[in-house]
Amino acid sequence: MSRLPGDDAKGGDAPPVLRYDGRRLAPAHHLPVREVPVALTVNGVALATLIASPHDLHFLVAGFLRMQGLVRSAADLLTLSVCEDFGAASVRIRGEVPDRITPTFTSGCGAGISFHVPASAGRPVQLPSAGPLVSPESLFSAMDALARASEAYRGSGGIHSAGAWDGERLLLFAEDIGRHNTLDRIAGQALLAGIDLSGRILVASGRVSSEMAAKAGSLGISVIASRTSPTDLAVRICGELGITLVGYVRGHRFNVYTHPARIAAAVAERIPGVTGVILAGGRSGRMGSDKALLPYQGGRFIEAIHRRMEELFGEVIVATGETGRYDFLPCRRVTDLYPGMGALAGIHAALRASGSEKIFVVACDMPHLAPDLIRHLCSLAEGADVVVPEGDGGLLEPLHAVYRRGVLPAVEDALRDGQCRVVSFFDRVRVRRVPLAEVERIDPDRCAFRNINTPEDYYRFRDGGG
């Protein structure tokens, strides 16, 4: 399996997320949930470290002090300051902080409990051994075994589960209302039974937090796999400790956040020498609003298309007449140099700005991208200036095509002549038409060419109707 840059790094930036799609690992875009430690000092006394989401931390601090019985009203808070950058909160309250505070260890997610990665406490980290490679099938089997064990033991809902997997069977299993407690229970079982967890796989039903990652590292766990997501601190800690962190293990798919070299699956490389281009900013007359900005999957329509393009290309550009409209996208945006000339002006701007010799162009209203078809089209560019597939009736699909930078003079001539149809310059360059039958071998239903033009199209697509 190919190794990625940074795969062996102990520190610095984490490797990019890889998504296993049932066949191979490919670069993907996913931001883990943020998690921050906040060291709380009250009247100069270091009281606790709160592990929390980063928003509205002053509410969290005030509520924590109230629930600990240190304040009863807002008037008891003389000063309250929170600095997320330094992970610190400083509070002055009326009265004194008791000399001894008996902590209540809750079943929740660690609020008020300070933890350390083992190395930070002055003890050597028990780094997980490289161990054998882990197949995707083993991860799916582990998660299935965890689900079966949960069904056998569970008497009610709302409970977390975790298990230790040795590659063939579930060695240990635990349930608790607190997901961190499940790992403590696993650790206790292993201790009393004399089971060494080094190199084992930890499977969990809930989110993987920094505390769980640190505890797993101290046990020598080599792989953590969860049905849900990790936090950003968990990703960082697993990267430092050499743990392979896998999330969203469901439906024969998963994301790999750190150390993917342990996963025995082929890595799909990004397409070399080609820049991905999204054409955006059209009039959207039949939709009545900008199609690219329609809500979809917790974001905007164009964000879903950008994620797919980012998996395929090392560089992605958005070509538009209004770059500010799409400034939320984490990629370059280029402005048409021939305003009002439609898609051809966007192709022209992208070719001039691209860091590659070739670009693959897709319209922002074509959400059914077929990665294998895109890879095939890009592979046909040798000896051609344009690679364009045929759609129904033999009509060309120029907004799902490959263009070489050498077509720029012909494109500029067409634009200066007032010709805005994309195919207007095809008779002056080398065009490779990809027959419909060849397209259908890869994309039998020709979904890749379907676009979203009307509200009815959008609602049907959003609701899963294609």
Residues known to be catalytic? 109
Task: Quickly count: other Cβ atoms within 10 Å of residue 35's Cβ.
Answer: 22
The burial class, CB within 10 Å (0-12 / 13-18 / 19+), for 159 is: middle
Q: Work out the angle at residue 266's Cα, subtended by the Cα atoms of residues 163 and 369, and round it to the nearest 5 degrees.
A: 100
Residue 167 in tokens: 């590659």
Task: Quickly count: other Cβ atoms within 10 Å of residue 191's Cβ.
Answer: 11
Which residues have a Cβ under 8 Å from the Cβ of 228 and sit 6 or more positions away? 205, 206, 207, 208, 247, 248
Q: Which of 307, 149, 125, 323 is nearest to 214 (CA)?
A: 125
Cα(326)–Cα(317) distance, integer angstroms: 11
Give CB contacts under 8 A, 24+ apart, made by 1-10: 1/133, 1/261, 1/263, 1/264, 1/265, 1/266, 1/267, 2/266, 2/267, 2/269, 3/261, 4/260, 4/261, 4/267, 7/259, 7/260, 7/261, 8/261, 9/239, 10/239, 10/240, 10/242
Longest Cα separation, the chain: 86
Q: Which of 338, 302, 304 is nearest to 321 (CA)?
A: 338
Residue 440 in tokens: 């259908």
Torsion of CA 7, 2, 387, 323, to 10 degrees: -10
Cα(389)–Cα(360) distance, integer angstroms: 12
Cα(325)–Cα(120) distance, integer angstroms: 45
Cα–Cα separations (whole angstroms), residue 301 to 68, 294, 318, 328, 361: 45, 5, 13, 12, 17
Answer yes or no: are the C-beta atoms of 384 and 431 closer than 8 Å: yes
Residue 115 in tokens: 């933890």
Torsion of CA 320, 273, 374, 433, to 10 degrees: 90
Strands 201-204 and 223-226: parallel
Residue at token pair 């009281």 = 47
Which residues have a Cβ under 8 Å from the Cβ of 414 and sit 6 or more positions away? 344, 420, 424, 425
